[in-house]
């Protein structure tokens, strides 16, 4: 029997209990409640775990938008995605990854890369791996090497102005990432036309259900044969290459922004970044940050305090 396990707040569990009020059955030890609907059996535990079981377990859980999935098992007679996509990384496949999401200054960049089976060894030998494990200089060189080899890729850059206006309009960063990955992969699929591929690997940043919900909110659907994987850079060379291309683009954009501004911007979101933001506010005015930074980060408030105390 398919079963999905989630972690929920007490508040959510209370809401669930009310919603399933008319379908409650006797609950097992340690449970807050158990409900039995036509589609699923829902059991909530005092620990905050909520289990959805039954043929429509996932559909039932999806009604509870945004709850965090912590485990999933599927019945033996259902197609198992893990089996279908096992060794995907050893076949022709697509991978996508992003950069800049944790950096206060600069854009978000997302790349998708198409790798053919016969290129995999060669790319590994080139030293392509998770961009976080490579120096900035090597990232730039490897990105150039990938482009020179003619490996098909797509690259999207969400500049700060756009980022800030979407954020103001209610988009979470997760939704922006999901839409950027989705569009980058679609762009790449157009580029490679009918070249064969076995599947798509996305470096996982939220649960598959949340990702699907983000797409659905913009009338988009998950592309077929998509596999979400944490630490996907070490699993798939296409994701590793995408991480290199996205990072290289982020570094180049940071250089451009630094030139435009007249002094070097800093990566990350630490205390030095707060101080730099304060300097920008003092010299150029607060509104300038809108074009250089992700203004909803806590750094903005800290920078305001610094500049007020100047």
Nearer to Mg ion among residue 4 and residue 243 (C-beta): 243
Q: How far is CA 235 from CA 2, 33, 88, 94, 294, in A?
A: 26, 40, 9, 12, 30
Taking contact as CB under 5 A, which single stretch among the options 33-41, 51-59, 67-75, 97-105 is the one that binds Mg ion?
A: 97-105
Q: Taking the complex as a whole, how short is the minimal distance between the CB of residue 18 and Mg ion, in angstroms?
A: 38
Alpha helices in 149-298 (DSSP H): 160-168, 173-192, 208-217, 232-235, 237-261, 271-284, 289-292
* Subset of 140-179 contacting Mg ion (CB under 5 A): none
Query: What does the per-residue mask of binding to Mg ion show for 54-93, with x meaning CB under 5 A?
Result: ----------------------------------------
Q: Taking the complex as a whole, how short is the minimal distance between the CB of residue 139 and Mg ion, in angstroms?
A: 14
DSSP letter for 67, please: P
CA-to-CA distance for 30 and 49, rounded, in angstroms? Answer: 11
For residue 30, give both structure tokens.
């340690």
- Minimal CB distance to Mg ion: which residue? 203
Residue 103 binds Mg ion, judged by CB under 5 A: no
Which one of residues 72, 97, 253, 274 is an interface residue with Mg ion (CB under 5 A)? 97
Closest CA to 112 of 169, 63, 183, 167: 183
Query: What does the per-residue mask of binding to Mg ion show for 222-241, with x meaning CB under 5 A?
Result: --------------------
Taking contact as CB under 5 A, which single stretch among the options 29-37, 94-102, 110-118, 139-147 is the one that binds Mg ion?
A: 94-102
Q: Taking the complex as a whole, how short is the minimal distance between the CB of residue 203 and Mg ion, in angstroms?
A: 4
Which one of residues 60, 203, 253, 274 is an interface residue with Mg ion (CB under 5 A)? 203
CA-to-CA distance for 168 and 159, rounded, in angstroms? Answer: 14
CB 146 within 8 A of CB 241: yes
Binding site for Mg ion (CB under 5 A): 97, 203
């Amino acid at each position: 029997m398919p079963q999905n396990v989630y972690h929920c707040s007490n508040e959510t569990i209370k809401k669930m209990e009310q919603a399933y009020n008319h379908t409650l059955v006797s609950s097992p030890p340690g449970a807050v409640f158990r409900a039995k609907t036509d589609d699923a059996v829902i059991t909530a535990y005092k620990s905050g775990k909520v289990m959805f079981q039954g043929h429509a377990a996932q559909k039932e859980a999806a009604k509870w938008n945004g709850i965090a999935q912590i485990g999933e098992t599927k019945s033996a007679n259902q197609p198992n995605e893990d089996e279908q996509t096992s060794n995907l990384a050893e076949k022709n496949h697509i991978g996508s990854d992003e950069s800049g999401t944790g950096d206060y200054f600069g854009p978000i960049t997302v790349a998708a890369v198409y790798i053919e089976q016969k290129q995999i060894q060669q790319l590994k030998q080139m030293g392509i791996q998770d961009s976080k494990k490579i120096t900035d200089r090597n990232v730039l060189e490897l990105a150039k090497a990938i482009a020179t080899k003619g490996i098909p890729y797509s690259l999207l850059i969400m500049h700060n102005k756009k980022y800030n206006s979407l954020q103001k309009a209610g988009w979470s960063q997760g939704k922006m990432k999901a839409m950027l990955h989705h569009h980058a992969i679609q762009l790449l699929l157009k580029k490679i036309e009918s070249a064969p591929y076995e599947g798509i690997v996305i470096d996982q940043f939220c649960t598959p259900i949340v990702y699907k919900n983000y797409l659905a909110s913009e009338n988009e659907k998950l592309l077929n044969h998509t596999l979400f994987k944490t630490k996907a850079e070490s699993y798939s060379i296409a994701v590793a290459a995408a991480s290199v291309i996205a990072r290289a683009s982020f570094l180049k954009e940071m250089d451009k922004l630094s030139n435009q501004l007249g002094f070097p911007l800093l990566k990350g979101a630490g205390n030095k970044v707060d101080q730099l933001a304060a300097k920008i506010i003092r010299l150029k005015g607060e509104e300038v940050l809108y074009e250089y930074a992700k203004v909803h980060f806590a750094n903005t408030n800290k920078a305001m305090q610094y500049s007020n105390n100047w």
